[in-house]
Chain A
Amino acid sequence: MIDINPRAQQHSDIRQAIREICRAFDSTYWQSIEEKAGYPEKFVETLTQAGWLSVLIPETYGGGGASLTEASVILEEINRAGANSGACHAQMYIMGTLLRHGSDVQKQKYLPPIAAGNLRLQSFAVTEPTTGTDTTKTKTFAEKRGNRYIVNGQKVWISRVQHSDLMLLLARTTPIEQVTKKTEGLSVFLVDLRQNAGKGLTVRPIKNMVNHETNELFFDDFEIPADNLIGEEGKGFRYILDGMNAERILIAAECIGDGYWFIDKARHYATQRVVFDRPIGQNQGIQFPIARAYANIRAADLMRYEAAQLFEAHQPCGAEANMVKLLAADASWEAANVCLQTHGGYGFAVEYDVERKFRETRLYQVAPISTNLILSYIAEHVLGLPRSF
């Protein structure tokens, strides 16, 4: 069958290389990982060793020096192949905060081993149980004492902690009542997880509806060397905002990859499955939802390239980055529903992978940013409507 992505010939070398890797990690692999609620170690290791997760690190630090568009194609193809980028996508972009705001000493110390695949920085502790997306209300506090910070507080939904060597942490360093603007007084720290097990940091895994490693973190007089402060104390909120546009464009690409996977799977099944002596795909009741879902994936895909090009040109792209995340997450969820419906009962069978991908792509409606908050952003910042919260 033809490739339903008309841009398949663009970045074809990257696409082919990722497809080649993913062929070795087929449906059986992902089902076995899911069955034991395991982490896809071998898959992540393979991507890491071939440098696919360090493509956004500049070549001067040993990375690939890729554009955001190229990076997005990598994640798109991983999801398009039926795999799940969520296990390791953050290794690609979390280092951006360190790259943009870290000191030369920090960058020289950490970026080359991250690029070489010897250090995993794929966890960023921001969300808290009582603050959610209201990040300025962050309660976790880092108090400076001499040459170290003492951290107390709690974080939740922090992904991949158990498969990271380093983690970024957002904490208040000045109480909110003592700052002029509530966005001030937050700081970002680099936490070395390897040396701190049992030293004031407790990691409690959260079982969830997808096979995704995510955790609650409890900080109890946890010490961080002052040298591990990223950038200036109190400016952490701005630092994390910097990384969000890239993250949203990359996550949107994963949704688009999922979308193409669902459409491919649905059209294949609809063509093969014969009921009442003809393929079910001959029925417009089956065709139209697949066609509509495909059109929406294509539209989101176009917005992805526009957002990525603006980002690469250092142009403002907050609106486009948010909109593509919204459009792509909606489109992949629509495609997932259509695919499941097309398969009927078989869609619920584990061996078809549809139910797994269905659960995985549902997450994008919520993480890393919920759909409603994107709509609020567009309403307020793009359309000039009054702030709703």
Chain B
Amino acid sequence: MHIVTFTRSTPDTAAKVEVDGNGAVSWGDAATVVNPWDEYSLEEAIRQATNVKGDTTVIAVGGDLHNDSLKHSLAMGVKNAVRVNADGLDMTDSLQWASLAAAAVNNIDDCQLVIFGKEHVDVGSDQVTYQTARKLGWTMLSYVSEILELDAEGGTIKVEKTVEQGKQILTAKLPVVISVLKGINEPRYPSFIGIRKASKATIPEWTPADLGIELPASSITHDAYNNPPPRDITSEIIEGETIEEKAAQLVDKLLEEKVL
């Protein structure tokens, strides 16, 4: 069985992202990092592939910015990495993204399981997860908190999902796309040997032509980006003899401002 997972490079979550003087989104010279949610999907892909003696491939959609995350994935222990890119790709167009992602998965032999992290932290969205499953025509299981059993021979997967009301145990026939939550595992750190191997690796780039598809035309135009308006904030330090006195004053002020 081949297990596929996805990753992407995102601005460091501590970086200040803003619109620059040219109207473009910028995070200055801050480094990019692996999308933090992908740490868990990468770890889970490695673990599950080890259990079923299968293979692993990590895919990134987009430009060579994402090679860093692919190499990080290889250093963690994923066996293969590939980047999918296309002229005219709009990374904010989820239909384009999912079309490339699904075509790349279809290009990998014996892939039965695709694992996504919960979301892409830079855009705060997980819609490409569902769209990729839809393009593949596979079952989608989101917010998986534990893979209870991956039965390669029987062709099933049993998972625990976290839902608003509690936990849900589900069994589905493979192939399946899942997204995993933060607590599913403790991601490993890249090893020295892994880093050394990754540094020598060449990341292949697949194009729509390689995958036998045409990139759907984007229906999105980017008219303008604007920084949020400056917030009018005033601060006041509440004085008082005791904690109780200060707390009472705070409550009064919150009631006065109709916060409570």
A interface with B by C-beta (< 8 Å): 13-14, 17, 20-21, 46, 49-52, 55, 59, 64, 66, 74
Contact = CB atoms under 8 A, between A and B. Distances in A.
Given A17-B75, A64-B193, A49 B188 contact: yes
Contact of B189 (A46, A64, A66, A74): A46
Given A14-B195, A21-B189, 17 more contacts: A13-B75, A13-B198, A17-B190, A17-B195, A20-B189, A46-B189, A49-B188, A50-B189, A50-B192, A51-B192, A51-B193, A52-B191, A52-B192, A59-B193, A64-B192, A64-B196, A66-B192
Contacts of B198: 13
Contacts of B191: 50-52
B199 interface: yes
Nearest to A63: B193
A87 B158 CA distance: 42
Contacts of A52: 191-192
A331 B67 CA distance: 39
B47 to A, nearest CB: 14
Interface of B: 75, 188-193, 195-196, 198-199
B140 to A, nearest CB: 31
Interface of B is mostly: helix
Nearest to B31: A16
A55 B192 contact: yes
Contacts of A50: 188-192
A21 B187 CA distance: 11
Interface centre among A17, A20, A21 (most CB of B within 10 A): A17
B78 to A, nearest CB: 15
Contacts of B188: 49-50
5 contacts: A14-B195, A17-B192, A50-B191, A50-B192, A64-B196
B250 to A, nearest CB: 27
Contacts of B75: 13, 17
B218 to A, nearest CB: 34
Contacts of A46: 189
A13 B199 contact: yes
Contacts of B193: 51, 59, 64
